[in-house]
Structure 1
């Protein structure tokens, strides 16, 4: 066989292998889309039991971040009321998949009007977007704004960086203040790494 013929055979085999791998990837991310889109908001977005339900069950599969993000996008369109947190979760998934521009646009859409943001959500979003934009100064400014946030007057007093919230059943939930400060610290520590790594426990305070 001529050299040209060998090249043609090699390219054909490579193409077939890539097509097979792509097909297997699509199959791994197959979902019951109508069933998932029919879930209520709690079931779709906040089911964290076990490996998670709703979109989380899809995102837990290796390589299915974009499929899960597309599912959230479709759910937002089918259920347009109060989509703020859905924008955020879709944005996170697109960031995990490496699509930072799309992620940043979605994260921006998740921000709240300032009077409706007593827990520092907007500085957290700003810090994350600055990380994705490789904006070290912007991340530092957002981190400072978050850390300076005082607890709301109706919350219990802050003790060693923790607020203890009594529940009706007698249990007490301990919440670090401000929320997401450890995540932002991790982003600052791992500025040169991917969002997948920087968001993980590996980069947060207390990690070796």
Structure 2
């Protein structure tokens, strides 16, 4: 059953939340003392309706819309691009643009519990730039936002590589925007100009 079908039953919603929770725990890897250190908000594709009670390591997960992300200029989140659910099987396709990874979990249910049977994962830096560029096209960088921080991290990484120096710690980087248009948007426009739309 597609995740975007509406309405869904309470049983479907519970099964969907558990399948996504199991998948996210594998995306986030493992918790640390005091709670998971890498738990991010999740964002769904426009045609997907996610249940509200999704957790990871027993912690509630914040669910954001694409409009929320654009408004808040978030950089670190998990994007759920496709979910399918049947009584005994499920699949969860996701993207973590902050590290250029994307993939699909295939899950099966045994004795009422979901477990991962397969995890196909890939990496694409250009795909991540395309994702951010498409998301933030027409949005001006705002000081203090996650995307401003990410831009400064990216800028420092390039400068460090050219100067053959160590990268600056994240907490020592400025949070002011180096410019108005995110570099991902400029790259996205180049992709479109070359007819490389995904």
- Structure with the higher fraction of residues in helix conformation: 1
TM over 0.5: no
- Structure with the higher fraction of residues in strand conformation: 2
TM-score by length of 2: 0.29
Higher relative contact order (CA 8 A, sep 6+): 2
Larger Rg: 1
TM-score by length of 1: 0.28
